[in-house]
Amino acid sequence: MKDVRKAGIAAAAICAALSGAAQAQTYPGKPIRWIIPFPPGGGTDVISRTLSQKLTEAWGQQVIADNRPGSGGTIGLAAVAKLPADGYSLVLGQLANVGIAPALYPKLPYDPVKDFQPVTLALTSPLVLVAHPSFPAKNLKDMIAVARSKPDTVTFGSPGNGTTGHLGTELLKTIANVRMTHIPYKGAVPAFTGLMGGEIAIYMSSIPPAMPHLKTGRVKAIGVTSAKRMETLPNVPTIAESGLPGYEVTNWYGVMAPAGIPRDVLAKLNGELVRILKMPDVQQRFQGEGGDIGANSPDEFAKFIRTEIAKWDKAVKASGAKVD
């Protein structure tokens, strides 16, 4: 009887393996939905549309980009967590809604570890602290002096509560011991528009959308959040070297799917995305604006996510930042 049971278990395992292999061979057999948890125009949108277009070209199957913004990128991630785990739903998670959100939101509608399957880290990128040209500060030292002389009057914008721009500035406030007023927007593009229009004084931006405006002088750079100066902005000092040693904030973006997708489908997704991320034109587009390509394995990305969650849990608690 035991032999029969063992044979049955073995047969079931073989069938499951064959079924998974067959599924991977036919995948994708229909359009894939790529959720973008922020509005059009920001870094998340640019990266998502670049990768989704490359997947469409590689597989001959449409990958549909779908913007689902709101609540610091958590609405889009929550939507994907509830979708079938079949490989036909993807999302670009990032530091804000995966690494920071668990510490910031008391009732987060998803578990970034249990509800998602990491596919690959796509890109890591520092940010740049920029200011409106009329703001009376040329560097970080000046900015801190202005903020200390007039507590709560200096306004800083962000793409929304709990985003990297929000928490990165909150950490700066804590280390510098200054008080500034947070103005959350519904995405990076509205926030940058607000900065250029003089609605806010400063804004911590991802590099790609800031570059053209830095070149035209519509905004000015105060400092970059990386540990060392960037090749694309060699004359802009780091925040750490400008008086806040040890300060470093690096944004990151990674492709994720609902937890439980077939392993063979996961392997196919990972292999194709890693290939795309290593394409010269993709690397030039992302690295040319200060980003470093990730292109790792699902297990490596999963380990990275757990490390980031632990790191930012301590940082959020230390800063006292809250969703307002």
Domain ranges in the chain are 30-123+252-319, 126-224
Give the per-residue SS3 of the chain.
CHHHHHHHHHHHHHHHHHHHHHHHHHCCCCCEEEEECCCCCCHHHHHHHHHHHHHHHHHCCCEEEEECCCHHHHHHHHHHHCCCCCCCEEEEEEHHHHHHHHHHCCCCCCCCCCCEEEEEEEEEEEEEEEECCCCCCCCHHHHHHHHHHCCCCCEEEECCCCCHHHHHHHHHHHHHCCCCEEEECCCHHHHHHHHHCCCCCEEEEEHHHHHHHHHHCCCEEEEECCCCCECCECCCCECCCCCCCCCCCEEEEEEEEECCCCHHHHHHHHHHHHHHHCCHHHHHHHHCCCCEECCCCHHHHHHHHHHHHHHHHHHHHHHCCCCC
Poorest-confidence range of 24-33, 54-63, 282-291? 282-291
Of 41 and 88, more confident:
88
Residue with tokens 């280390």: 175
How far, in whole angstroms, is CA 199 from its chain's centroid? Answer: 25
Structure tokens at 261: 């997708």
> Which residues, in sequence order, are CB contacts of 26 under 8 Å at separation 6+?
none
pLDDT at residue 13 greater than cutoff 60: no
Backbone angles phi, psi at 129, to 5 degrees: -85, 115
* Cα Rg of the chain, angstroms: 21
Among 250, 251, 248, smallest CA distance to 175 is for 248
Average pLDDT over all residues of the chain:
89
Among 267, 222, 269, smallest CA distance to 241 is for 222
Q: Which CATH superfamily is domain 30-123+252-319 in?
A: Bordetella uptake gene, domain 1 (3.40.190.150)
Q: pLDDT tens-digit profile of 64-83?
A: 999 999 888 899 999 999 99
Tell me, what's the pLDDT at 54?
98
Range 126-224 classified under CATH 3.40.190.10:
yes
Q: pLDDT tens-digit profile of 190-205?
A: 999 999 999 999 999 9
**Do the beta carbons of residue 169 and residue 147 sit within 8 Å?**
no
Same fold: 30-123+252-319 with 126-224: yes
**Do the beta carbons of residue 202 and residue 170 sit within 8 Å?**
no
pTM above 0.85, yes or no: no
Tell me, what's the pLDDT at 21?
52
Tell me, what's the pLDDT at 130?
98
